[in-house]
Amino acid sequence: MCPVGLDLARDFWAEEVAPRLGPLGRVVAAGLVGEGSECFGFDDTLSRDHDWGPAVCLWLRRADRDAAVPIRAALAHLPSSFHGHRVRRPSLEAVHRTGLLEVEGFYRRFTGLERPPATPEEWLACPGYALAACTNGAVFADGPGAFSAHREALLAHYPEPVRRLRLAAHLEAAAQGGQYNLPRALQRSDRVAATLALAAFLRHAMAAAFLLARRYPPFSKWTHRALTELPAPWPELARCLTDLARATTARETDRRVEAAAALLAGGLVRDGLPAGQGLFLLDHAHRIRESIDDPHILALHPRID
């Protein structure tokens, strides 16, 4: 069986890259983090047709940039294949994914900041999928510790008032899409409008689940897959949403939407959050907003696209 890219990268670092760097390895962090299915452990035979193969990221602090030249010289002597796989070379489309990278520039590309977010506005400006991309994968070694310290600050997740604000916004959007627009579109036999409403419900219901799990959702094509790997009850929500996507009648669609809403409402209770009555997610969203006692945060508009 072909190893997943993350395992292959770990072996490539240990067997080929680290020995060539020698003492230079102490000034970098090494791992595989960022864009690409292999960073999430989701790569398969289909995704391996491009930008895949043995490779690592080496993150160098700006203060240590004088080491860049000898590090690149050491990397120039890496083999062209490893364990039967062609060693990946950065393509024009993925030039920033592997190889020697700057710590500060790596995080800036995803969050717009060279340090962890420090204010509610800065946290809200970071898309969830970008936070997922710069905190996924694995760090194999980190002598200076700067890369890992930044990573751990992001993995600590949103400050609680920000999490609640985002959660309320996603629950509102899920209610609008799945509990209001979807049934009305189906009653009008407007399949295009119904499909758009269904997509909105799926997206925002999953985003709410990730917030309740205190995780960041990956890019849309991997969100459902990642949902299946969250702690209970979210794999059950993933199955429920699969059934919803396959529903062929308005009655079945409504039943699946309400089942998903019940799981989200139950998740609010387990999280200790204030919850509304019944399964209408908009009521739950209002209760969560009411629990935020900072008027400054309440006046902000979270990015939920």
pLDDT tens per residue, range 194-214: 999 999 999 999 999 999 999
Distance from C-alpha of 148 to C-alpha of 146, rounded to nearest angstrom: 6
Pair 30, 56: CB distance under 8 Å = yes
Which pLDDT score is estimated for 46? 82
- Give residues with Cβ within 8 angstroms of 224, minimum separation 6: 202, 206, 238, 241, 242
Compare 94 and 273 and report the one with higher pLDDT: 273
What is the pTM for the complete model shown?
0.93
- Determine whether 231 is exposed, middle or buried from the number of CB atoms within 10 Å of its CB (0-12, 13-18, 19+): exposed
Pair 11, 83: CB distance under 8 Å = yes
167 pLDDT higher than 90: yes
125 pLDDT higher than 60: yes
Angle in degrees, CA 175, 177, 180, rounded to 5:
70
91 pLDDT higher than 50: no
Alpha-carbon distance values, 114 to 44, 62, 94, 106 (Å): 33, 11, 21, 8
Span between the terminal Cα atoms of the chain, in Å: 38
In the chain, % of residues over pLDDT 70: 96
Distance from C-alpha of 195 to C-alpha of 182, rounded to nearest angstrom: 8
Pair 32, 57: CB distance under 8 Å = yes
Partner residues linked to 30 by β-bridges: 58, 141
State phi, psi for 160 to the nearest 5 degrees.
-55, -45
Neighbours of 14 (CB within 10 A): 14
Which pLDDT score is estimated for 303? 79
Pair 233, 224: CB distance under 8 Å = no
Mean predicted confidence (pLDDT) in 54-80:
94
92 pLDDT higher than 60: no
Neighbours of 118 (CB within 10 A): 11
* Segment 231-265, tens digit of pLDDT: 999 999 999 999 999 999 999 999 999 999 999 99
Partner residues linked to 86 by β-bridges: 81
Q: pLDDT confidence of 3, banded at 50, 70, 90?
A: low
90 pLDDT higher than 70: no
Mean pLDDT value across the chain: 93
- Three-class SS state of 4: coil
Distance from C-alpha of 122 to C-alpha of 107, rounded to nearest angstrom: 13
* Segment 131-156, tens digit of pLDDT: 999 999 999 999 999 999 999 999 99
